[in-house]
């Protein structure tokens, strides 16, 4: 089984994988693994379960022990039994015997008490179907409550140059203080940050002879100490992502990136109960270019 200190900080995203060109997509995933990427996050919700079905073919060619796989429990968890039922769907669809981390995708997905759901996840660890307990898309208060009861490996949440909600409320610091790895999704806002062509970011890209996205990934991983999840359907994009770690930003440039954020995101009140507002998992999808 993959050791935690061997996990590549650039994870393989599976949201909206190109399933119209399955052979090409599979080859891209295999190329990612050949290049050292060994962390993957997926969900039964992605393309109505078709992504997880597709990953069956991936795991026919890649030994599961060589991939750290995180899976999400989705809306809705109405009974305790639903946790193992969903987990078993993952295991059956991908023909694997365990997942490395299991987490509730977003707190409102659990219609029973969130702690009760995590108690069931803990039981899955005892059964050997799950290696680690992880958390995703909760408030800081919910994370603290879960962490008080269970040993956690990671927290998966939104974080990028423009949207620093979890840093502003202290959740990033909490993760560092409690040895919980923060895994960022939408680190590049699906290329929307680069499309903004912020003058300072364009200048940094020119200075280091890198793309804007490479600057952002370098900053998040090497300076902020975060892991990231990035979808890449092409070999060129995979190479570009991995080449984001072969240089070092100067301290004055790091300070520029540390100090910037888009106030539009800060003005959004998070709808934690999914009552018609913007939920935390939809936050980074706002303000598309």
Q: How far is the C-alpha of 216 from the C-alpha of 204, rounded, in Å?
A: 10
The answer to whether residues 157 and 171 touch, using CB atoms and an 8 Å cutoff, is: yes
Calculate the average pLDDT of the chain: 97
* 198 has pLDDT over 90: yes
Task: Identify the burial level of 189 via C-beta atoms within 10 angstroms of its C-beta, where 0-12 means exposed, 13-18 middle and 19 or more buried.
Answer: buried
Residues 29-81 have pLDDT tens digits of 999 999 999 999 999 999 999 999 999 999 999 999 999 999 999 999 999 99
The pTM of this model reads: 0.96
With a CB cutoff of 8 Å and minimum separation 6, the contacts of 65 are: 1, 2
Q: For 144-180, what is the HEC assignment?
A: HHHHHHCCEEEEEEECCCCCCHHHHCCHHHHHHHCCC
* 2 has pLDDT over 90: no
Domain boundaries in the chain?
4-285
Arithmetic mean of pLDDT, 84-105 = 98
Task: Identify the burial level of 28 via C-beta atoms within 10 angstroms of its C-beta, where 0-12 means exposed, 13-18 middle and 19 or more buried.
Answer: buried
Closest C-alpha to 102, from 69, 141, 147, 148: 69
pLDDT at position 171, please?
Answer: 98
| Torsion from C-alpha of 34, 38, 43, 46, nearest 10 degrees | -30
Angstrom distances, CA of residue 26 to CA of 40, 47, 56, 63, 242: 14, 16, 11, 15, 18
CA 153 from centre of chain: 13
With a CB cutoff of 8 Å and minimum separation 6, the contacts of 51 are: 14, 15, 17, 19, 42, 43
Arithmetic mean of pLDDT, 238-257 = 97
With a CB cutoff of 8 Å and minimum separation 6, the contacts of 20 are: none
Residues 110-167 have pLDDT tens digits of 999 999 999 999 999 999 999 999 999 999 999 999 999 999 999 999 999 999 999 9
* 289 has pLDDT over 80: no
pLDDT at position 233, please?
Answer: 82
Q: How far is the C-alpha of 82 from the C-alpha of 222, rounded, in Å?
A: 38
Q: How far is the C-alpha of 21 from the C-alpha of 233, rounded, in Å?
A: 10
**Residues facing residue 132 across a β-bridge:** 101
Q: What topology is assigned to 4-285 in CATH?
A: TIM Barrel (3.20.20)
């Amino acid at each position: 089984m993959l050791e935690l200190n061997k996990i590549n900080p650039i994870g393989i995203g599976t949201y909206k994988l190109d399933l119209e060109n399955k052979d090409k997509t599979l080859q891209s995933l295999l190329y990612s693994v050949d290049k050292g990427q060994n962390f993957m996050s997926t969900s039964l919700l992605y393309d109505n379960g078709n992504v997880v079905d597709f990953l069956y073919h991936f795991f026919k060619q890649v030994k599961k022990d060589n991939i750290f796989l995180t899976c999400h429990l989705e809306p809705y968890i109405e009974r305790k039994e639903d946790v193992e039922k969903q987990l078993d769907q993952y295991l059956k669809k991908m023909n694997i015997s365990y997942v490395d981390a299991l987490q509730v995708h977003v707190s409102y997905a659990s219609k029973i008490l969130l702690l009760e759901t995590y108690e069931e996840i803990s039981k899955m660890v005892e059964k050997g179907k799950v290696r680690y307990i992880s958390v995703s898309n909760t408030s800081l208060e919910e994370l603290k409550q879960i962490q008080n009861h269970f040993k956690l490996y990671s927290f998966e949440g939104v974080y990028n140059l423009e949207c620093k909600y979890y840093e502003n409320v202290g959740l990033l610091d909490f993760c560092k203080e409690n040895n919980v790895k923060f895994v960022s999704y939408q680190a590049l806002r699906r290329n929307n940050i680069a499309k903004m062509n912020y003058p300072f970011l364009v200048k940094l890209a020119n200075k280091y002879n890198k793309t804007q996205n490479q600057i952002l990934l370098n900053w998040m991983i090497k300076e902020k100490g975060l892991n990231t999840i990035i979808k890449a359907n092409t070999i060129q994009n995979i190479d570009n992502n991995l080449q984001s770690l072969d240089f070092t930003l100067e301290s004055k440039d790091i300070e520029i990136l540390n100090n910037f954020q888009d106030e539009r995101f800060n003005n959004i009140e998070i709808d934690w109960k999914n009552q018609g507002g913007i939920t935390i998992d939809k936050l980074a999808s706002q303000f598309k270019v």
